[in-house]
Amino acid sequence: MLVIDHISKVYQVGGQNFTALHDISLEIEVGAFMSFVGPSGSGKTTIINLIGGLDQPTSGKILFQGKDLGKMDRNDLADYRRKNVGFIFQSYNLLPVYTVYENVLFPLLLNDIKESAVRDKVRNLVDQVGLSDQINKKPTELSGGQCQRVAIARALVKDPALVLADEPTANLDAENSYHILELMLKLNREFKAAFIFCTHDEKVTKYVRREVRLEDGFVEWDKSKQPEGHLI
Amino acid sequence: MIFKVALKNFARQGMRSVLNVVVTALAMVAVVFNLSLYNGFQDQAVHNMQATDVAGGHYRSQGFDLLSPMDWEDHTFEVPGSLASLPASEKAEVLLLQGQIFPNRRLFPVQLRGMEMEQTLLDLPFDKLKEWDKPAMDILPIIIGKQMAAKAHLSLGDTVVLRWRDKFGAVDALDAQVVDVVPLINPRIDEGVAWLRLDHLQQITQRPDEVSWVAVKEFKGEVDGKQFKSPEDLMQDILSLIRQDRRYAVVIWVILIFLAGISVFNTQYLNIFKRQREIGTLMAFGMPPGRIVRLFTLEGSLAAFSAVIVGLILGTVILGWFQSVGLDVSHLSESQIPIRENIYLQINPLEVIASVLVIVSIMILVAWFPVRKISKVDPTLALRGRAIT
């Protein structure tokens, strides 16, 4: 589904070149549940941003279903993200003036789908993440764990091929982190969307089926494994 | 969809939207108030001069110059029949000569202005002169303005020696009694002026039927070689002052609009600055840059149009209240600007529309500009809140 072919990413920092990723090549299959791990500055967020079409590689190709993201302009990349990618952010990034329902609905409106056609779908998804009782509340009225559940529902509502989660458990306590991970694992199975995390949270690594370790922009190792999560 | 989202965003931003709208509405009201006050001030000055002195113009003898008092007595004339036959509501005969009064034994040069009592063209509060029924042989009734009374230390009922020169150069004098001290809204007919009945002044100066000018309601055509001075000629100085004031008003208008623009820009820029992550999130959702710009510009436009409505309400209340009390400009009594009473706003619809349109345009522009900038940046920077620093 996604082929990362010899990509490098170089940033200009204080007038000097800083190489965040060195010649990375990977393939990610449909329905993957994987994570990029590594210390700060290893290139985890950079690779997530490149896969998500938020940034462009300096060299190399990223092919999504055969299409080269590097050849897309800003509008094509926006189109790619709108149709294929759901994002889950460390600090949730919920729209503050919207309710839970409206936050989850929003990506569908962006795809020009009428609310009346997807009302039940949105309610079901909110129900699946366990927030039926909070559906009319705004983010400021929710806990961190609840906000992250909204973010997950929002990422999945448009049935994306990819869900990219940047440190999804970093702002959560251990119990909430486990709940969120279990929820994502469950939804990964139901929705067949590939979940790609970048994290240095060991709790996440227990759940994933593939782990890619980055170190100074290089792939240190890439291994598939049996997850240790509660549902497995 | 974009409109619904913009409306929801705008309506739910609470205090941020309220402040944005109120600041803009107040800016609009301030600009309109300032312009209307200028208009009111200027219109009132012109109106006061016309109502008390200039009317629709003066017929004078050739060469008469108000600023050459030594020549006044050489430029009197008998009122031609065509002017004398005009109804009282269309002409006012005035005789102007030099004289002196001696309040507290001090010499005080005055303009002796004789005003035709039948006239109703000029709005002068001279009822006490009209009512005077004694002959002008023992004592002369005079009326003075409040400013004159203060300068000459004269009060109602005071008697003062009045001296003049008659047509044949003989100097004569008589007691004059101040029969009224009136508030005159035009300082040019107040300070240094003693008002008499025209018939009295003609009698004591031996100038029967002679006048210095005839104020008329409107131009009556050429009259016996008399010179017609239009209101524009007679108010040349005040009109030129007003033209100068207009230029200042434009400068003040530009400054006010600029300040309003800065204020709106500041609010809007801060708004965008605080919502960088939200913009980044919209980018991550796949909202195309053009749509983001449209969304935020639409929010700014909604704020602008709400400001017009709020401005209309605030303006009606504030300007309405102001119209009921006016602005007291009695402190101008020492100046030569012909306004002494309260002044009121003169609202020019075209100026209001132009000001509102300019402010609305600025608001939309400042809503568009920072978002246009941010929509071009790397989405990862917007997500981290570093697109605008």
CA distance A110 to B286: 8
Instruction: Identify the bridge partners of residue B387 per DSSP, sorted by sequence position.
Output: none
**In chain A, what residues touch B285 (CB-CB under 8 Å)?**
81-82, 87, 106-107, 110
For A230, list phi and psi in degrees, rounded to 5: -60, -35
Instruction: Identify the bridge partners of residue A115 per DSSP, sorted by sequence position.
Output: none
B106 three-class SS:
coil
- On whether any CB of chain A is under 8 Å from the CB of B281, the answer is yes
Query: What digits encode the pLDDT tens for the residues B53-85?
Result: 999 999 999 989 998 999 999 999 999 999 999
- CA B275 to chain A, closest CA, distance in angstroms equals 10
CA distance B105 to B92: 34
Per-residue pLDDT of chain A (232 residues; tens, 9 = 90+): 899 999 999 998 888 999 999 999 999 998 899 999 999 889 999 999 999 999 999 999 999 999 999 999 989 999 999 999 999 998 899 998 899 999 999 999 988 899 999 999 999 999 988 899 999 999 999 999 899 999 999 998 998 999 999 988 887 788 878 888 888 888 888 888 899 999 988 888 888 999 999 999 999 999 987 776 554 3
Query: Within 10 A of B360 (CB to CB), how many other CB atoms are there?
Result: 21
pLDDT of residue A232: 38
Nearest residue on chain B to A81, alpha-carbon basis: B286
Q: Which helix (H) or strand (E) holds B177?
A: strand B171-182
Tokens of B87: 């109804």
Q: Do A80 and B286 touch (CB under 8 A)?
A: yes
Residue whose tokens read 């025209």: B198
Query: Within 10 A of A175 (CB to CB), how many other CB atoms are there?
Result: 9
Query: What digits encode the pLDDT tens for the residues B115-128?
Result: 999 999 999 999 99
DSSP B61: -
Q: Do B380 and A89 touch (CB under 8 A)?
A: no
DSSP B51: I
> What b-and-e string marks burial along A42-63, b requiring 16 or more CB atoms within 10 Å of the CB?
bbbbbbbbbbbbbbbbbebebe
Q: Say how far residue B119 (Cα) sits from the centre of its chain.
A: 27
Query: Within 10 A of A145 (CB to CB), how many other CB atoms are there?
Result: 18
Considering only CA atoms, which of A106, A58, A3, A27 is closest in space to residue A217?
A58
Q: Do B1 and A109 touch (CB under 8 A)?
A: yes
Closest in B8, B285, B289 to A107, CB measured? B285
CA distance A150 to A160: 16
Residue B144: partners with Cβ closer than 8 Å, 6 or more residues away: B152, B154, B178, B181, B182, B190, B193, B194, B195
- CA A94 to chain B, closest CA, distance in angstroms equals 8
pLDDT of residue B185: 84
- On whether any CB of chain A is under 8 Å from the CB of B8, the answer is yes
Angle between the B289-325 and B276-285 helix axes, to the nearest 10 degrees? 140
